[in-house]
């Protein structure tokens, strides 16, 4: 089956990447002394999302840790993971992203959007209510095959609205994120996350004003140059999701009483 093959390939790539990464870090004596286990997880997750971790400014580690602390300070993370596991979202969602060649850690984007609640409705905006686990607005949902229901103007669940169907909306979300990867943001998973929240056209506009050199067109450089233009919501959004993904790699290291919810992807 395609899904099983994708998971097998993911395991092989993940193991190869881990070995290469560990060998690489071992060759950097400075890193051997300076990096804690938390630091290593943060930098590995940056690599998973396609970032060049060596280009990360020192304050990135500090900022990610501050968002890890935010997750630790409430029951939200555990409650969301419990809901995901109870409903099988931890199996189906990562598989959908793997099938499209995307990091399964986009699972945590749904955590930030809705706490894995498929029946949630967002506040009214000029584009309508965002609804469902992936918080699609009507226009984007319809673009990716999600039928809008008769209660689209009301902030409540609508059985006739595909955005509340978590399986259909997960497929739509993976397609949308795959499409964002095909834009100028393609080299940066963190810019893709920002695009999902703020709109891909806004991120692309910023990127197009920068040099074509990949060293310049990355999350760190875009943020450094245009942080004053980023909405606080988008800034928080990216860091909350990234911090959630870091925690998910080893929840017990960060004081959570459960194991990696995506650990099944690693098992043979």
Residue 52 CA from chain centroid, whole number? 17
Q: pLDDT by residue for the chain (268 residues), tens digit each?
A: 555 666 666 556 655 555 555 555 555 444 555 789 999 999 999 999 998 887 889 899 999 999 999 999 999 999 999 999 999 999 999 999 999 999 999 999 999 999 999 999 999 988 999 999 999 999 999 999 999 999 999 999 999 999 999 999 999 999 999 999 887 766 689 999 999 999 988 888 888 877 766 667 788 889 989 989 999 999 999 999 999 999 999 999 999 999 999 999 986 4
Measured at the CA of 65, the angle between CA 82 and CA 264, to 5 degrees, comes to 35
Place of tokens 């929840």: 251
Q: Is residue 123 part of a domain?
A: no
Q: Is residue 48 part of a domain?
A: yes
Nearest to 82 by CA among 220, 267, 266, 259: 259
pLDDT at 12: 63
Residue 234 near residue 194, CB atoms below 8 Å: yes
Q: Which tokens go with 25?
A: 């870090």
Residue 244 near residue 81, CB atoms below 8 Å: no
Q: Is residue 139 part of a domain?
A: no
pLDDT at 205: 86
Measured at the CA of 217, the angle between CA 37 and CA 101, to 5 degrees, comes to 65
Q: How many independent structural domains does the chain possess?
A: 1
Q: Is residue 197 part of a domain?
A: yes
pTM (whole model) above 0.95? no
pLDDT at 207: 82
Q: Is 64 exposed, middle or buried (0-12, 13-18, 19+ CB in 10 A)?
A: buried
Q: Is residue 126 part of a domain?
A: no
| Domain span holding position 193 | 2-118+165-265
For 5, phi then psi, to 5°, come to: -65, -40
Q: Is residue 183 part of a domain?
A: yes
Q: Is residue 93 part of a domain?
A: yes
pLDDT at 140: 96
Q: Is residue 147 part of a domain?
A: no
């Amino acid at each position: 089956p395609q899904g099983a093959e994708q998971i097998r390939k993911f395991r092989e790539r993940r193991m190869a990447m881990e070995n290469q990464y560990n060998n690489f870090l071992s060759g950097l004596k400075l890193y051997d002394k300076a990096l804690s286990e938390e630091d290593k997880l943060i930098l590995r997750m940056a690599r998973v999302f396609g970032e060049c971790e060596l280009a990360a400014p020192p304050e990135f580690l500090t900022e990610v840790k501050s968002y890890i602390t935010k997750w630790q300070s409430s029951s939200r993370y555990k409650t969301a993971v419990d809901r995901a596991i109870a409903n099988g979202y931890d199996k189906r969602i990562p598989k959908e992203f793997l099938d499209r060649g995307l990091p399964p850690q986009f699972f945590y984007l749904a955590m930030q959007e809705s706490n894995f609640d498929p029946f949630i409705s967002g506040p009214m905006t000029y584009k309508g209510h965002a609804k469902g686990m992936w918080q699609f607005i009507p226009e984007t949902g319809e673009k990716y095959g999600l039928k809008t229901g008769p209660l689209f103007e009301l902030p409540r669940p609508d059985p006739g609205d595909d955005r509340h169907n978590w399986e259909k909306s997960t497929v739509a979300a993976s397609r949308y994120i795959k499409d964002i990867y095909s834009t100028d943001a393609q080299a940066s998973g963190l810019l893709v996350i920002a695009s999902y929240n703020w709109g891909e056209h806004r991120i692309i506009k910023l990127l197009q004003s920068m040099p074509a050199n990949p060293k310049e067109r990355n999350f760190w450089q875009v943020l450094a140059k245009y942080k004053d233009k980023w909405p606080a919501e988008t800034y928080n959004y990216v860091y909350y999701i990234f911090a959630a993904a870091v925690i998910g790699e080893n929840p017990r290291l960060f004081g959570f009483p459960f194991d990696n919810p995506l650990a099944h992807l690693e098992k043979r």
